[in-house]
Structure 1
Amino acid sequence: MFRDLSRPIETGMPVYPGDPAVTLAPDATHEADGYATSELRTGTHVGTHVDAPRHTLSAGATVDEVDPGRFAFDARLVDLRPLEPREAITAEALSEALGGETDAVEEEIDAVDAEVDLLVCRTGWAAHWGTERYRDHPYLTEAAAARCSDRGVGVGLDAFGPDPTPTAAETDVAAASDEPDGTPAHDVLLKDDLPIVENLCGLDGLPARFRLYAFPLRLRDGDGSPVRAVAEWEA
């Protein structure tokens, strides 16, 4: 079976705060030109996309330098729900969601690492897509990202990313005093050339194990790219 886990790219769609707005508009039309083409203006991190190491690391690999085979994953779904807005996801929380005990983080992720190369973290925040609340997604602690990085496991999420996103004035959720600045989870994963797949959707009802295909555009010197993320599993 196959399922599309990606957001449609369309004019006015949600973007990370400060990123370019998206417009998709007709260029040539059947009525005027006898054929149809469109003009797309977008940032490289719009909708469902992958991050290349160059995204947060100035000397990191660009998206066109990464072997395309790295974007075909043996994935494991990690259901972390329920989570509070802007809740920190610790290494221990990851272990518990994977079926391990809080004092057995290393053993549990070691076992997963032998079989998968991407943990798809279901936070439940896909339900807030298109609202300001989407900014208030949970995030990975640097230690949780380091556990994954140490074992060569990348991360996918149904949120803007593994680090906190700036809050919106329209919500009543404030950043906690211990919320990290910058992009520590990104940096930990990307320094080891591990994939990050962001803004996934359609995770409900997926099996625990599946294949995930998330091939980026071959953007020269690209720091990331939108993808058509597709899950495959045996019925």
Structure 2
Amino acid sequence: MFRDLSRPIETGMPTYPGDPEVTLAPDATHEDGGYATGELRTGTHAGTHVDAPRHALPDGATIDEIDPGRFAVDARLVDLRPLEPREAITADALSERLGDGTDSIDLAVDAHDPAVDALDPAIDLLVLHTGWATRWGTERYRDHPYLTASAAVWCREWGVGVGLDAFGPDPTPSSAETDAAAAADEPDGSPAHDVLLGADLPIVENLCGLDELPTRFRLYAFPLRLREGDGSPVRAVAEWEG
């Protein structure tokens, strides 16, 4: 079975604060020229997209330098619901949810075998289901939960990247005054991005359609081959046996 987990690219779609707006408009039309083409203007991190290490690191790999096989991954769904706005997701929370009905040791190929490198896991990506996809298109989408730096380090130690149904693994600036107190306790900069991308681990953002996915599935999120790109929109698709 297949399921599309990506947002449609369309004019006026939500973008991270300060990123370029997206426009998709006709260029040639059948009526005027006998064929149709369109013009797309977008940032590299619009909609459902992947980050390249260059996004956070000046000398990090660019999207066109990454082996395309790295964008076909074995994923594990982690249902973290319910979460409060701007709630911090800790390493303990990830470990606890992974232990619900599944021994978290399964993240590794065989953690009991000392010959197995812990950075060569059977699972490549943890898809974090925060429930924030339902707020897409509203100001509240900015107020998504985020990973603590220690949670990102925990992922790095397991050798897994993250996918999220939100703008990203770090806090997004909020436009709501009521969230000023919460924002005061949030980290500066982008520590989760820095940890994960610094280890060449994938980050997939703005996923949708995570409800009723199986616990484990294959995720395909192939980017455009943008020369020296720091990220790219993707068509994210889940596959599993029905």
Q: TM-score normalised to the size of structure 1? A: 0.94
2:148 maps to which residue? 141
In structure 2, the partner of 1:53 is 53
Matched with 1:30 is: 30
Per the alignment, in what secondary structure is the counterpart of residue 222 of structure 2?
A: coil
Q: What are structure 1's unaligned runs of at least 5 residues?
A: 102-106
Deviation at 1:99, TM superposition (A): 1.4
Contact 1:20 1:43 in 2 (8 A): yes
Q: Which runs of 5+ in 2 are unaligned?
A: 110-121
Q: Deviations over 1:85-128 (max 9, x none)?
A: 00000000001111169xxxxx83x5313321100000000000
User: What is the percent sequence identity of the aligned residues?
Assistant: 79
1:124 to 131, 135, 148: 131
Between the aligned partners of 2:58 and 2:133, the Cα distance in structure 1 is 30
Distance of 1:191 and 1:177 partners within structure 2: 26
Distance 1:70 1:89 in 2: 25
CA distance in 2, matches of 1:180, 1:214: 29
Query: What secondary structure does 1:228 align onto?
Result: strand
**Count of residue pairs the alignment pairs up:** 228
- Alpha-carbon distance, 1:216 to partner: 0.2
Question: Which of 189, 194, 198 in structure 2 is aligned with 1:187?
Answer: 194
Q: Which residue of 1 aligns with 2:89?
A: 89
Task: In structure 2, give the amino acid aligned to 1:111.
Answer: D
2:205 is aligned, of 198, 201, 207, to 198
- Asked whether 1:14 is paired with 2:14, we answer yes
Aligned to 1:98: 98
Greater shift after overlay, 64-73 or 173-182? 173-182
Q: 1:192, CA displacement in angstroms?
A: 0.7
| Matches of 1:18 and 1:151, distance apart in 2 | 33
Which residue matches 1:216? Answer: 223
Over the residues paired in the alignment, what is the CA RMSD in angstroms? 1.3
Distance 1:10 1:86 in 2: 27
Residue 76 (structure 1) aligns with: 76
Q: Which residue is 1:173 aligned to? A: 179
Q: Distance in 1 between matches of 2:14 and 2:198?
A: 28
Contact 1:78–1:97 (Cα < 8 Å) also in 2: yes
Whether the 8 Å contact between 1:113 and 1:153 is mirrored in structure 2 is no
2:27 counterpart SS class: strand
The answer on whether the counterparts of 2:107 and 2:158 sit within 8 Å (CA) in structure 1 is no
Q: Deviations over 1:201-235 (max 9, x none)?
A: 00000000000000000000000000000000001
TM-score by length of 2: 0.92
Helix, strand or coil at the partner of 2:93? helix
Mapped to 2, the partners of 1:176 and 1:167 lie a distance apart of 8
2:108 corresponds to which letter in structure 1? D
- The answer to whether residue 162 in structure 2 is matched with residue 150 in structure 1 is no
For 2:100 and 2:150, how far apart are their aligned partners in 1?
17
Measured in 2, the distance between the counterparts of 1:80 and 1:217 equals: 30
Separation (CA, whole Å) in 2 of partners of 1:218 and 1:8 = 19
| 1:145 partner SS | helix
1:113 maps to what in 2? 108
In 2, are the aligned partners of 1:25 and 1:39 still within 8 Å (CA)?
A: yes
